[in-house]
Amino acid sequence: MTEHEPKENRAVQTAAEVLDLSPVIPVVALDDAEQAVPLARALRDGGIRTIEITLRTPAGLPAIERVAAEVPGIVPGAGTITEPGQAELAARAGAHYLVTPGTTDRLLDDVEASGLPYLAGASTVSEAMRLAERGATAMKFFPAEPSGGTAYLKAIAGPLPELRFCPTGGISPDNAPDYLALPGVRCVGGSWLSPPDLLAAGEWTRIAELAAEAAALG
Read off the pLDDT of residues 165-217 as tens digits, 9 standing for 90 and up: 999 999 999 999 999 999 999 999 999 999 999 999 999 999 999 999 999 99
- Strand-pair partners of 194: none
Digit-by-digit pLDDT tens for the chain (218 residues) are: 334 566 666 789 999 999 999 999 999 999 999 999 999 999 999 999 999 999 999 999 999 999 999 999 999 999 999 999 999 999 999 999 999 999 999 999 999 999 999 999 999 999 999 999 999 999 999 999 999 999 999 999 999 999 999 999 999 999 999 999 999 999 999 999 999 999 999 999 999 999 999 999 98
Please give the pLDDT value at position 1: 36
Query: Going along the chain, which residue ranges are E strands?
Result: 24-28, 50-54, 75-79, 97-99, 118-119, 121-122, 138-141, 164-167, 188-190
pLDDT reported for residue 2: 38
Strand (E) or helix (H) holding 17: helix 15-19
- Whether pTM > 0.85 for this model: the answer is yes
Give the CATH fold of the 12-208 domain.
TIM Barrel (3.20.20)
Q: What per-residue confidence (pLDDT) applies to 5?
A: 63
Q: What is the pLDDT of residue 68?
A: 98
The residues annotated with a catalytic role in the active site are 52, 140
pLDDT of residue 11: 87
Q: What is the pLDDT of residue 63?
A: 98
The sign one gets for the Cα dihedral 113, 140, 164, 186 is: positive
CA neighbor of 52 nearest in space, from 84, 12, 108, 83: 12
